[in-house]
Structure 1
């Protein structure tokens, strides 16, 4: 059983991953949800119910089967995105990872740092054997981040999203505990 009831604060070089504070974060959450690039890259709808979304974020810290953390810019102490580990696959001891970076956090290395911090935390503090994720084919920047952290392509789901009249594939990636440990050893050896 994976218990994610502890909602840590993880301090990186440029960012802090911390539990959600819906009351403080919500204006920035909405900024992300209304951002055209976020809508495109996540395949989400720009239409949402404010009350429902606020309630959702306000209940994230109560969840024991998932870990939702705010990504906060260390220099401004402002919410710039979120990173989530969810969807436990008990059979494979695996969970899904997803990340969203809003306009205040793009092109600053926050995505790479947040992904690495979350992967390290989860694999050091749980018995999970792997993390999985999906990224749309028109998001090569995110794919490079995932590969840098150690994720490898596992499969492709064809035509998973219709965007701008085109069918977009979804690339499924995974990072096993074994590959993560190899990366950790390479870092320790200074490679």
Structure 2
């Protein structure tokens, strides 16, 4: 059984260079400014736009929720807001959640902040919350993000072909997931249907 009380009372998570602080109304100005930077829209597949009032209401609704956890990524050196990292889409029955991260812009991309924040959030989800599985979707052109997710232990599970239409082109979305340590240890052994190997006529049947 997963421990959703850790989602409702999510802690601040610390990494070598950042603090992940529970997201809330006080980060409204920073989040709003980051949404005005459209350099990352394609990376996240964001076609829509948001009003300042929508952002405010979203942030007001976050504290205390037991079905998701949102953090602001704050750099230790200068208390600068770097972006947000999220566990959402809770499936309690199957002990799984979705992972999402969005940096404020390309000025802080490629410096390892995303990987650093991701490691802390994944350890929180698989460890404290007790999730069995954390999944994500990433567009195939976002090679930097794919490398980061791979470093974090996410494995490719499939591809959604032509999942994003952007500037007249179609792009695939790669589905990735990470399981809790030891999750596969109790998998039943793969078995072969005896009829498939003993029926002398089976080989020629299509």
State the TM-score, normalizing by the size of structure 1.
0.87
Deviations 1:57-80 (A, max 9, x none): 122113111111111111111221
Partner in structure 2 of residue 165 of structure 1: 168
What displacement does 1:156 show?
0.4
For residues 47 and 17 of structure 1, what CA distance do their matches in structure 2 show? 25
Comparing 144-153 and 125-134, the one that deviates more:
125-134
Gapped regions of structure 1 (runs ≥ 5): 182-191
For residues 183 and 75 of structure 2, what CA distance do their matches in structure 1 show? 26
Q: Does the CA-based 8 Å contact 1:81-1:101 persist in structure 2?
A: yes
1:137 to 124, 130, 140: 140
1:57 to 56, 59, 79: 59
For residues 14 and 179 of structure 1, what CA distance do their matches in structure 2 show? 29
What displacement does 1:2 show?
4.0
1:28 lines up with 2:4 in the alignment: no
1:74 lines up with 2:73 in the alignment: no
For residues 83 and 182 of structure 2, what CA distance do their matches in structure 1 show? 27
SS in 2 for 1:31: helix
Task: Please report the RMSD computed on the Cα atoms of aligned residues, expressed in angstroms.
Answer: 2.0
For residues 80 and 66 of structure 1, what CA distance do their matches in structure 2 show? 20
1:123 lines up with 2:137 in the alignment: no
For residues 2 and 99 of structure 1, what CA distance do their matches in structure 2 show? 22
What displacement does 1:153 show?
0.2
Closer/same/farther in 2, CA of residues 179 and 33 from structure 1, 3 Å limit: farther
Partner in structure 2 of residue 156 of structure 1: 159
| Residues paired across the two proteins, number | 181
Larger Rg: 2
For residues 108 and 26 of structure 1, what CA distance do their matches in structure 2 show? 24
Q: Does the CA-based 8 Å contact 2:161-2:172 persist in structure 1?
A: yes
SS in 1 for 2:170: strand
4+ runs deviating over 6 angstroms: none
State the TM-score, normalizing by the size of structure 2.
0.81
